[in-house]
Amino acid sequence: MSRTALYGGVEAGGTKFVCAVGDTTGHLLETITFSTTSPEETLAQTIDFFRQFPHVQAIGVGSFGPVDLRPGSPTWGFITTTPKPGWQHVDVAGTLGEALGLPVAFDTDVNAAVLGEKRWGAAQDVSDFVYLTIGTGIGGGGMINSALMHGLLHPEMGHLRLPHDWERDPFPGVCPYHGDCLEGMASGPAIVQRWGRPGDELPPEHPAWDLEAQYLALGLVNIILTLSPERIIMGGGVMNQRQLFPKIRAAVQALLAGYVQHPAILDEIERYITPPGLGGRAGVMGALALAMSER
């Protein structure tokens, strides 16, 4: 039996749940993945998994949203107004905590990934950074002075408003709220609708990727000018198209036009705009880091 402290992490996604038990070094003892079905069934599977590990000291949950993170709120730890059927107003943190008799730390999936990248990933050496995920949606979070940003609710960087050159790109965008915001123009579904095929089926030399890089760079420039991060980590399904990274870096430098005079941007941008250190495990390892952060 392990003598080191063990923690549990739950990557609570709209499509799948990933649960893991690990220690403070980031070593994972066991992981399990199952589909997100009804809340009753999915949370019961989660509870059954962690009941095998009586030495777990706390659980961290990085959840799809929207979620209630307001300390002291009667619905803290709930998934709230999600469009996902059956999951509206579900008490995720309370259900797990009561069944397992453990403290539960709860945050957005993005904020959990931020914690994971800080602890074991690509942000270990910086105090101010942003993590963006580009996939079905676009989400962003980060740390300032080594603390998570929450504020009023949490950042919603996917919905930044950007210049839209209608002559170059007449596509109106897919965001039901804002049309041509960042998510409306550059998410996975935007690529599918604009080009008639998912990104996976477009070759690396397709013009889709120059346009995609331009929108992502516009978003990054606004984030850089607002937060002054020391690093930007870009993950999610769309960023598996690795040809995007050099295009985005070049576009960010062109758009800033030398205004931010810092070697991180002028000379070392390969390190400044980077894939996640934890790759596809950023979600569940972030949830594990979240569990540890509450102790």
Considering beta carbons, is residue 52 or 124 the nearer one to a second copy? 124
Q: Select from 58, 82, 60, 78 the least CA-distant residue to 68.
A: 78
Question: What's the min distance (Å) between Cβ of 53 and a second copy?
Answer: 33
Considering beta carbons, is residue 52 or 228 the nearer one to a second copy? 228
> Which class for 123: exposed (0-12), middle (13-18), buried (19 or more C-beta within 10 A)?
buried
Q: Select from 283, 292, 291 the least CA-distant residue to 31.
A: 283
Question: What's the min distance (Å) between Cβ of 121 and a second copy?
Answer: 18
165: phi then psi, degrees, rounded to nearest 5: -85, 95
Question: What's the min distance (Å) between Cβ of 101 and a second copy?
Answer: 31
Considering beta carbons, is residue 16 or 262 the nearer one to a second copy? 262
Radius of gyration of the chain (CA): 19
Question: What's the min distance (Å) between Cβ of 187 and a second copy?
Answer: 15
22: phi then psi, degrees, rounded to nearest 5: -150, 175
Other residues' Cβ atoms within 10 Å of the Cβ of residue 200:
12
Considering beta carbons, is residue 191 or 252 the nearer one to a second copy? 252
CB of 181 closer than 8 Å to CB of 175: yes
| Cis, peptide link before residue 172, omega less than 30° from 0 | no
Considering beta carbons, is residue 54 or 177 the nearer one to a second copy? 177
Question: What's the min distance (Å) between Cβ of 128 and a second copy?
Answer: 4
CB of 86 closer than 8 Å to CB of 39: yes
Residues near a second copy (CB under 8 A): 66, 81, 128, 140, 144-145, 147, 149-164, 177-178, 180, 218, 221-230, 255, 257-262, 264-265
Considering beta carbons, is residue 154 or 247 the nearer one to a second copy? 154
Question: What's the min distance (Å) between Cβ of 11 and a second copy?
Answer: 22
Considering beta carbons, is residue 3 or 177 the nearer one to a second copy? 177
Question: What's the min distance (Å) between Cβ of 41 and a second copy?
Answer: 28
Question: What's the min distance (Å) between Cβ of 294 and a second copy?
Answer: 16
Considering beta carbons, is residue 45 or 75 the nearer one to a second copy? 75
